[in-house]
Amino acid sequence: MNPIGARPDGTISVGNAERRVLVVSHDPAFPPTSGADLRNCRNAEAAAEFGPVCLVSVRPRAMVPRAADAPIRIEALSIEGEARTSSIGWWRMGAEQRISRSALARLKTLVRDFRPDTVLVEGIGLFKLLRPLRPLTKQLILDMHNVESDLAGQLRRVDATRSAAAVIATSLGIRRLERKALAIVDRVWVCSASDRERLMAVCGDKVPIDVVPNGIPHAGDIPETLPAEAVTDNGFPEILFVGHLGYPPNVDAAERLAVAILPRIRQAFPTARLVLAGRSPKPAVRALAGLPGVELVEDPQDVVPLLSRAHLSIIPLTAGGGTRIKILEAMAWGVPVIATPLAGEGLDLVDKDEVLLSDTDEGLAEMAVGLCLDAERRALQRIRAHRAVWARFGPRAVRNAVRDGLGLEEAGA
């Protein structure tokens, strides 16, 4: 078989054919506003190196202009304001998204028009699309941003409103759905080796499970050389936490930071400040802005100014799936990260070298104080973390993982 070669227009051919990829998400992935959007966009961008890509959402897309020569086609299966039609499937789990019959009809029409070699479906939430898509494409891939059955079990730690029985029932129901999905698709993508192990424990080795990591968000806008550390003469340290502030694990982390961790740091550094930044903050998060040294930035249009002036990022998550894109972004900007082991899970970062890890509020605060007191150690962590994140999660690493996840390496690419 002929090797992969670059075409004059920049796409890649496999032998004499290009790989056409259709990426199906629930929410519009462009422009990206969430971690899921960032992953979908990055996967689409990487796949576009091997041929035409269409990025399609079940929900209506935002009317954002795209350049006429943009390499990725953007479509939606629903139209804003259209009459509601019945959904496919007479019953669905809470973990599944509603998909209308009109959306499915448009998807089938789009597949016939675009003629993809591969259809990449975002997560168990779109399970109802797998069977209709199966006969329409040569290769059907499920991209599991999270192992949802495992994540459902974790969320009980931060959601006291649900009983243990309800959590277990939900987790088992999602696990059955995951098993059914793996019997339909050709391949599965996950974010990390630890998620791969979890999925294999649940479903065995029925299909190839590829690790396609989350990439550095907005990597094209970040200098690959290590940025200078933020100045320390205007309040030190400034601690940054970025995330969806309506998501229960992030709400819990924000409360731990503001109530338990920051006060301990302020005993050593009275000027220490905490910046909580993200969309859709819950009332409990808004209330934290009234505490000493705590600032809330709602729905930031751009996190670059926040990252540029941050000295630390502390991420005390006790639940969550996938891998934390907020860690990758902080490290890419040269911001040292202190986190719980679960927050750093799946990234294979070296503790006490590229990242600092602790399970307790006391431990996280002590690590922050120690790092702030030792400028040389802080500088070394910034250098090592920056080097690691660009090597493992930069555009080239994601591009290679997507290539392998599409099976192009097996095809001799």
Give the CATH number of the domain where residue 388 resides.
3.40.50.2000
User: Are residue 257 and residue 120 in the same domain, yes or no?
Assistant: no
pLDDT band at 2 (very low <50, low <70, confident <90, very high): very low
User: Are residue 51 and residue 169 in the same domain, yes or no?
Assistant: yes
Residue 413 is assigned to a structural domain of this protein? no
The residues that bridge with 339 in the sheet, in sequence order, are: 315, 357
Tokens in use for 15?
Answer: 């032998």
Q: Give CA 320 to chain center in angstroms.
A: 11
**To the nearest whole number, what is the mean pLDDT of the chain?**
87
User: Are residue 189 and residue 268 in the same domain, yes or no?
Assistant: no
What pLDDT, on a 0 to 100 scale, did the predictor assign at position 3? 30
pTM for the structure as a whole: 0.85
C-alpha distances out from residue 89 to 60, 84, 248, 268, Å: 21, 15, 29, 58
Q: Give CA 217 to chain center in angstroms.
A: 9
User: Are residue 234 and residue 361 in the same domain, yes or no?
Assistant: yes
Q: Which of 238, 226, 228, 275 is nearest to 372 (CA)?
A: 238
List CB contacts of 385: < 8 A, sequence separation 6 or more: 331, 334, 336, 337, 349, 354, 355
What pLDDT, on a 0 to 100 scale, did the predictor assign at position 170? 75
User: Are residue 165 and residue 235 in the same domain, yes or no?
Assistant: no
User: Are residue 303 and residue 168 in the same domain, yes or no?
Assistant: no
Cβ 142 vs Cβ 188: under 8 Å:
yes
User: What are 132-189's pLDDT values in tens digits?
Assistant: 999 999 999 999 987 766 666 666 555 656 666 666 677 778 888 889 999 999 999 9
Residue 231 is assigned to a structural domain of this protein? yes
Domain of 254 in residue numbering reads as 220-393
User: Are residue 150 and residue 33 in the same domain, yes or no?
Assistant: yes
The residues that bridge with 297 in the sheet, in sequence order, are: 277
List CB contacts of 317: < 8 A, sequence separation 6 or more: 249, 250, 252, 253, 324, 339, 340, 342, 343
What pLDDT, on a 0 to 100 scale, did the predictor assign at position 12? 40
Residue 247 is assigned to a structural domain of this protein? yes
Q: How many domains are contained in the chain?
A: 2
User: Are residue 130 and residue 237 in the same domain, yes or no?
Assistant: no
Angle between helix 325-332 and helix 375-393 axes, rounded to 10 deg: 120
Classify each residue of 209-234 as buried b or exposed e, where b means 16 or more C-beta atoms within 10 Å of its C-beta: bbbbbbbbbbbeebeeebeeebeeee
In a 3-state reduction of DSSP, which class is residue 356?
A: strand
Q: Cis ω on the peptide bond leading into residue 336 (within 30° of 0)?
A: no
User: Are residue 42 and residue 188 in the same domain, yes or no?
Assistant: yes
Radius of gyration of the CA atoms of the chain, in A: 22
Instruction: Tell me what percent of the chain is helix, strand and coil, each rounded to the nearest 5.
Output: 40, 15, 45
User: What are 57-76's pLDDT values in tens digits?
Assistant: 999 976 655 544 567 999 99
C-alpha distances out from residue 62 to 32, 68, 99, 123, 365, Å: 11, 17, 18, 21, 41
What pLDDT, on a 0 to 100 scale, did the predictor assign at position 17? 54
Tokens in use for 399?
Answer: 């591009």
Cβ 20 vs Cβ 118: under 8 Å:
yes
What pLDDT, on a 0 to 100 scale, did the predictor assign at position 321? 57
DSSP code, position 95: T
What pLDDT, on a 0 to 100 scale, did the predictor assign at position 359? 94
User: Are residue 256 and residue 324 in the same domain, yes or no?
Assistant: yes
